[in-house]
Chains A and B, each alone.
Chain A
């Protein structure tokens, strides 16, 4: 299971890469593995406002639909249109294939997120609890 050190993570298994005041958001390797084959990603529209902790979209695997949450608040500036025709890219490389880019209202939102080390611990706990 890959957990790149330079990203922030949410307890609901999204990752965030910060570039200036922009946040690139995707789901973690752990999350894609748990979901299994992804067949559809329902994304917000550019200019949509997202709340920190609010719904960002929905990921559908073969078996189930799961909500994705936005780890930060802000305005959607881009969505990954490639996922419309190839949602399985998230299974192939969850970190190269972001879902949205958000212009953060409050860059301090990331301070409440998890570091790679803390996130790894969380994943291990969840796995152990199965």
Chain B
């Protein structure tokens, strides 16, 4: 199978990216070291190619009403220029995808979806679309990069006349000139740090990538998908296919704040409301490893020999210097402080159900 390449492929080669097959895309898992890249983002700034993400446009007089029906969050709450995290469910409450909604007007939105789900999402959205609402897959029209870390704003500011402080958390600005090219910039990201995501024409991607690296000098480095995963995991940000999926509801994944039951009907509402009333059978638990061993997704979680759940993600949290995991466990066994065992290669390794163990950045950017 031929792997798809992003517009930034030549840059990955130039910076010695170690290329892997990532859901059909040829992307760098790392440049130098996953852990080193992780620390660079937490301490300074990192630049990610996320061009594989999908962009789906929704337009029409009934676009707002349609998205309210398609998605679980309250779309009416956001203003033009605002971004919203949202969840798209099946009628049974399972998750089609989690995504970001960019609102231009009540008649024009862009949904940014997970790369591997783009085609599935596009078909699902078209299938459920209200008459007169136009759905377009614009994924090939956009390259996307993310600049993340405490120095992200300062570095990016060197390349644009727009005062970046005017873009607040989860807002965006279109038609921004950056390094002489036109882009959409949002203050969003997937690392637990301050930073921006930049959408632009694939033809301009390399120039902007190089301009950002040059502007950052020693304070920035290109970051691969390995550190993207360790950063999002350490900040407890959900990953579709691990924390969320067709068989995991947003309530089980503790994303209930993005499910609004009082804003009219939406796909999955009835099932989720029932689940909310009876309490979901499984819940997400944070685990801290007490003994040596690396927890990984799909490993079983046991208590006194009985299987009580499964890990969705796990591993070393490099900035916290702890081995942590996220698990989906049977509700009756969820008890913070309780000791459990993670089965690593058929051996029980001690862990504890904890709360608040994951990373939170210390100071909020002004």
Contacts and interface: CB of A to CB of B under 8 A. Distances in A.
A125 interface: no
B293 A62 contact: no
B345 A36 contact: no
Given A39-B316, A63-B226, A84 B292 contact: yes
Nearest to B33: A37
B29 A63 contact: yes
Given A58-B345, A62-B34, A62-B315, A36 B226 contact: yes
A39 B294 contact: yes
Nearest to B296: A65
B76 to A, nearest CB: 41
A122 B293 CA distance: 32
A58 B230 CA distance: 21
Interface in A56-92: 58, 60, 62-63, 65, 84, 91
A110 to B, nearest CB: 29
B296 A37 contact: no
A74 to B, nearest CB: 23
Say which size band chain B's interface belongs to: 10 to 19
B35 interface: yes
Interface string B29-68: 1100111100000000000000000000000000000000
Q: Dominant SS at the B interface?
A: mixed
Say which size band chain A's interface belongs to: 10 to 19
A30 interface: no
A62 B230 contact: yes
Contact of B34 (A36, A58, A60, A65): A36
B293 A36 contact: no
Interface in B272-330: 292-294, 296, 315-316
Contacts of A60: 294
A59 B226 CA distance: 17
B33 A40 contact: no
Nearest to B20: A63
Nearest to A61: B34
A40 B292 CA distance: 8
Interface string B6-41: 000000000000000000000001100111100000
Nearest to B293: A40
Interface in A16-43: 36-37, 39-40, 42
A91 B30 CA distance: 15
B321 to A, nearest CB: 11
Given A62-B230, A62-B316, A36 B33 contact: yes
Given A37-B34, A39-B316, A58-B345, 16 more contacts: A36-B30, A37-B33, A40-B292, A40-B293, A42-B293, A42-B345, A62-B35, A62-B230, A62-B316, A63-B29, A63-B34, A63-B226, A65-B296, A65-B345, A84-B292, A91-B33
